[in-house]
Structure 1
Amino acid sequence: MLHTRRRLLGLALAALSLVSACTTTPPPTAAAPQRPKLLVLVVIDGLPMRQVTGYRDQLAPDGFARFLDHGRWFSQAHYGHGHTVTAAGHSVMLTGAYPQRSGIISNEWRDPVTGEPVYNTGDAAYTYLDNPTAPLSGTSPRNLKVETLGDVLRTRSPQSKVIGISGKDRGAILPAGHKGTAYMYMSETGQFSSSTYYMAARPQWVKDFNAARPADAFFKKTWAPLLPESTYSRSVPDGQPWQIASGNGNRLPAVVGDKMDAPGPRFYGNLLASPFADELTLAFARAAVKNEQLGRRGVQDILSVSLSSHDYINHAFGPESRLSHDHLLHLDRHLQAFFQFLDREVGAGNYLLTLTADHGFTDTPEWATSQGRDAGRFTWGPSLAAVNAGLAARFGVDKLAWNFSASGLLLDEKLAAERGLKFADVEAAAREELLKLPGVEAVFTREQLLGSDTTTPYLEAMRKSYDPTRAAQLQIVLKRHWIMSYRPGGSTHGSPHDYDTHVPLLFWGPGYVGQGEVKQRVEIADLAPTLAAIAGLPAPAQAQGRDLQLKP
């Protein structure tokens, strides 16, 4: 038993040795077959394009630079919808459909009829395998109203495999679609698991991976800066008062698991806000490629790997921070090793590699203010109280505004009707009250969102985020550099402003996509139709993007 455990631990630690020696030799350019055998989508959660280009001189030769130096990349790729959050972005990538069609309007929202909370991948009919399942846990793609590229592939080729892997349930489930398989990190146990929607029991290779307890290998491991101190002059130093100090602290070097006696739920959760969770996720992805024989079974397969740590780090410290800067450099080295693994395992000419992000990021308001920008935090509780006070003064009814839901304000239509109020009057008054609040740029009504006006700023973007069966009646856009905030520090995303919409869209694949920068503005909704064309598949039925017609 001890021998077996040591053998499994050795295998897991070998898989975790992802950072290989840097080489200036370009990746192999073997002759490509007619269609790629494997489509690989890498998603960096919360990565604005400005960070990729801003630190380009510090990148390894074969991580992000593989795309920038040897691939095809779009320097002006944006999301077209306005509420730019993790679930919405992950739903767009492989469906080509905006949230107005997919129904994934946010990470969570409130049912507009009952007011009850809804999680984007929540489904009480299913549970996690061998792991606790909390209420609203992400367990299935039931709320996704459209098909993904993987669904198209498996409809035509049932023997093909579509696998989604992520540190977050939504980052795995939404790209995997209805007919794929999702594996997600369990922050309570440090394992990777799936749900009963996909299978009755985990495959043996997944059991073996978890049995070695690979997350525990990072207990008490130090996250230290990758480069000398002088190279971080373009980012904001550690320990700023607006940087969240809980978790692993807000200074490097940081010890993950510091002041803990043994690995446990708090350690496994803290691992996510460090480079080590990405390393662990990529180790699991390597195990999936090997054990599922992806791209090597005579049929096309799809692998989606969404790396979550950059989002956690940017939320805590801001994208302008040295911690975010350094994390990007660590991530870059992990990607380099993963790409070189794919070259060896699948063959450089046999797969197409794509990298994007689910959203960008806003600088922390306190930092932005120090730089002379008008910035601030729109806080939910006081804002809701102010709107309800204004409505009560006008109509004599308390709590006509139910709650904030995703990017909007949810009004209680039932209460308005019971009190004999015309809902259009309540809606108009609530809009007026919202526009009085600091930081509010625009508020759109249901009538505007269902209309055809394409000239009013931000309206079309918010329309693409609006599903009338799920969204609040009033949709809010904050001013540039303002954020919706539930805590006094850190930063977030979620706006139609360019710092939140502008993300990488990078391709690499000898013989499939060619090389060079493309400066025309494109949208991430174009990704699914483009990959479909390269793979020889029809685009997903509800796709709103276009084929970018990439040629070698």
Structure 2
Amino acid sequence: MPRLVLIVAMCSAALVACSSAPTQPPAVSPPPKLVVFMVVDGLPMRQVLAYRDQLQPDGFRRFLDQGAWFANAHYGQGHTVTAAGHATMLTGAYPQRTAIISNEWRDAKTGEPVYNTGDTAYHYIGHKTDPLAGTSPRNLRAETVGDVLREQDGASKVIAISGKDRGAILPGGHKGVAYMYMSESGEFASSTYYMASHPKWVVDFNAAKPADAFFGKAWAPLLPEAAYARSVPDGQPWQFNGGNGNKLPAVLGDKHDKPGPLFYANILPSPFGDQLTLAFARAAIEGEQLGLDAKPDILSVSLSSHDYINHAFGPESRLSHDHMLQLDLQLQDFFKYLDKTVGAGNYVAVLTADHGFADTPEWAKSQGLDVGRINPTQVMTALNAGLVKKFGAGAGAWATHFSAAGILFNEKQMAAQGIKPEEMYAEAKRLLLPMTGIADVFTLAQLQSGDTVTPYLESMRKAWHPEVAAPLQIVVKPGWLFGSRPSGSSHGTPYAYDTHVPILAWGPQWVGRGEVAQKVEVVDIAPSLAKILRLRVPSQSQGQVLPWPQAAAK
């Protein structure tokens, strides 16, 4: 069975023939009435191209055939995860400035858990709020395009929606309004950071219980079996077999008497999670009258289901392949809705992803690749045993926690015993490098240096915030994953399969039309949208205006 990367190579060879000739946008275009910013969580660019021949005429192909798209768009930071990506998109800043270094990490001084959008000062409206639940953008140390827009004109609206709290809160910024899916109830809710109570349109949407409509509904393949020959069949031993199972068709709620928390949670790892999110986005457009007056608005919609599916089954799976086709159909319907409601000439749409994905190690290994899984507990045990041999035993362990892409140490114990931190970090690096699956380890001194030659050091430096991140950063070998669960796949590395994501845009009067081969980065989206909206660039932005086909919109 051919690997997905080989399919992509064949598809890529035909792109010149498939793509329309580039056309530049007009020299001067007034700002759009609405920016529709879309994120497909966990979507590598290779999947967009691999299934191009099976896409609907006006879903992803609206971008590929009628819009501007960048064939070589990447993240610049080396720790590629959901929160870090969502914080980068509309700030134009790497984690070294946003301070959102991962989904969760440990406080560098106390070792206590930190969640990227956690803030115990606020709670969900009408729903239980766990201590580490995402409720505000407090930890985001950068402003977004929406923040700048709202600063310029408070009448403009910024609404952010996602199946995940971080997928809504981080693109929504400090001055927008975020709504996230509540997996125990099937409803969408905001938090008291944004408002005291929901507006009527949200109350009405939830009262209709739209999630319940998916109870007993089957996720069945869209195409005949032969159409999925390029993908790995269902039911493989490395494909997660919980939730809705690992074979299609899959019936949601099959083992439940009625809708309940488990059913609502299982909507997300299915095409119906995105369908529900897009339904809420429609309600937001109508309820907030987005794009219907002279004041530009921003609607951010982060679709979470693909990430859950790739984690469970791998991007090489038929389940992931079919989900792409299901999502493509949903995007086509959503664009038709936008054309009718907002007007095709009144909005610009941009689609990207927060990270890519590695193939499932067990599948990749069956194709002869040197890949595998690294057990973090075993790594920490072996590391501490080696540190004790070098520095002697202390009252506690020398290496205390994994934190994002790095390791924290017992700094107080080191100081009490007169051990210089740089000596501890250097010894830890020496011990870690020979371990299976470890490609390189960067010490605090390297991260603070001006070295731009060592492979992956600069990308890990961009992922490292001096007040938040651990002093030792680890890079795994290609195809290797940290984790002990023997199923599914993940992401988080500086390699192309994790950094290469789509940047697709539509709205010819602002972005032009055609393929751009030049390498660009996700940090370039924020200054580009700021220019389209006639705004100043967000203050922490590190990106450049995207090179739209032939010329940038002025």
TM category, shorter: over 0.9
Pair 1:432 & 2:430 matched: yes
1:41-60 matches, within 5 Å, as 41-60=37-56
Which residue of the other structure, out of 404, 428, 442, is the alignment partner of 1:406? Answer: 404
User: Pick from 526, 529, 532: which aligns with 2:530?
Assistant: 532
C-alpha deviation, 1:33, in angstroms:
5.9
Partner AA of 1:544 in structure 2: Q
**Counterpart AA for 2:440:** A
Task: Please list the CA deviations of residues 310-342 of structure 1 after superposition, one character each: whole Å capped at 9, or x if unmatched.
Answer: 000000000000000000000000000001100
Are 1:109 and 2:105 counterparts? yes
The counterpart of 2:59, out of the listed 42, 59, 63, is 63
Partner of 2:87: 91
Structure 1 contact 45–86 (Cα < 8 Å) conserved: yes
Q: Which amino acid aligns with 2:183?
A: S
In 2, Cα distance between the equivalents of 1:116 and 1:314? Answer: 30
Aligned residues: 523
The structural deviation recorded for 1:488 is 1.4
User: 2:227 aligned to 223, 226, 231, which one?
Assistant: 231
Determine the structure 2 residue equivalent to 1:126: 122
Query: Separation in 2 of the partners of 1:478 and 1:109?
Result: 18
**1:167 paired residue number:** 163
Cα deviation code 1:484-504 (max 9, x no counterpart) = 114111100000000000000
Q: How does 1:176-325 map to 2 (within 5 A)?
A: 176-325=172-321
Instruction: Tell me the CA shift for residue 419 of structure 1.
Output: 2.5
Residue type at the aligned position of 2:525:
L
In the alignment, what sits opposite 2:440?
A: 442
Q: Secondary structure at the match of 2:510?
A: coil
Q: Which ranges of structure 2 fall in alignment gaps of 5 or more residues?
A: 1-24
Instruction: Measure the CA separation in 2 of the matches of 1:425 and 1:34.
Output: 58
In structure 1, the residue matched to 2:476 is 478
- Between 1:471-480 and 1:426-435, the stretch displaced more is 426-435
Distance (Å, rounded) in 2 between the aligned partners of 1:166 and 1:251? 26
Structure 1 CA distance for aligned equivalents of residues 421 and 153 of structure 2: 50
Give, in whole Å, the separation in 1 of the partners of 2:238 and 2:128.
33
CA distance in 1, matches of 2:226, 2:411: 58
The aligned amino acid for 2:162 is S
- Residue 77 (structure 1) aligns with: 73
User: Matched residues in 2 for 1:204 and 1:431: separation?
Assistant: 56
Deviation at 1:127, TM superposition (A): 0.2
Structure 2 residue 416 is matched with structure 1 residue 418: yes
The answer on whether the counterparts of 1:110 and 1:116 sit within 8 Å (CA) in structure 2 is yes
2 CA distance for matches of 1:311 and 1:158?
A: 34
What secondary structure does 2:160 align onto?
A: strand
Q: d(CA) in 1 for partners of 2:413 and 2:393?
A: 9
1:420-469 Cα shifts (integer Å, max 9, x gaps): 32222111111111112100001001111111111100000000000011
Quick check: 2:422–2:445 contact (8 Å CA) kept in 1? Answer: no
What's the CA shift string for 1:9-40, capped at 9, x where partnerless?
A: xxxxxxxxxxxxxxxxxxxxx99962111111
* Counterpart contact for 2:271–2:326, Cα < 8 Å: yes
CA displacement at 1:394 relative to structure 2 = 1.6
Does structure 2 conserve the Cα–Cα contact (< 8 Å) formed by 1:48 and 1:360?
yes
Identity %: 65
Residue by residue, what CA displacement relative to the aligned partner does 1:88-143 show, whole Å, maximum 9, x if unpaired?
A: 00001000000000000000000010000000000000000000101100000000
Q: Pick one of 457, 461, 475 that aligns with 1:459.
A: 457
String of CA shifts for 1:513-546, please: whole Å, max 9, x gaps. Answer: 1111000100000000011111111110110000
What's 1:14 paired with? none
Q: Distance in 2 between matches of 1:420 and 1:117?
A: 27
Distance apart, 1:418 and its partner CA = 1.9
Matching residue within 470, 481, 492 for 2:490: 492
Summarize deviations over 1:33-77 as a string: whole Å, max 9, x none: 621111110100000000000000000000000000000000000
Native 8 Å contact 2:29 2:510 kept in 1: no
Match for residue 505 of structure 1 among 503, 506, 518: 503
Q: Using the TM superposition, name which of 166-175 and 260-269 deviates more.
A: 260-269
Q: Residue 11 of structure 1 aligns with which residue?
A: none
TM (norm. structure 2) is 0.93
Tell whether 2:320 aligns with 1:339.
Answer: no
| 1:371 equivalenced with 2:362 (yes/no) | no
CA distance in structure 2 between the partners assigned to 1:221 and 1:392 by the alignment: 56
In 2: Cα distance, 1:285 partner to 1:490 partner: 30
User: What amino acid is aligned across from residue 520 of structure 1 in structure 2?
Assistant: Q
How far is the alpha carbon of 1:412 from its aligned partner? Answer: 1.1
Which of 368, 371, 382 in structure 2 is aligned with 1:386?
A: 382
Deviations for 1:358-407, whole angstroms, at most 9, x for unmatched residues?
A: 00000011111011111011111111111011111221225100011100
SS in 2 for 1:529: helix
SS at match of 2:527: helix
| 1:163 shift after superposition | 0.6
Distance 2:81 2:277 in 1: 21
Q: Is contact 1:530-1:549 (8 Å) kept? A: no
Question: Hey, what's the Cα distance between the residues in 2 that align with 1:287 and 1:227?
Answer: 30
- Is the Cα–Cα contact under 8 Å of residues 45 and 310 in structure 1 kept in the other structure? yes
Q: Secondary structure at the match of 1:65?
A: helix
Match of 1:443, SS state, is strand
User: 457, 466, 472: which is aligned to 1:468?
Assistant: 466
Deviation for aligned residue 1:549: 4.5
Cα contact 1:33–1:350 (8 A) shared by 2: no
Asked if 1 retains the 8 angstrom alpha-carbon contact of 2:38 and 2:351, the reply is yes
The yes-or-no answer on 1:40 pairing with 2:67 is no
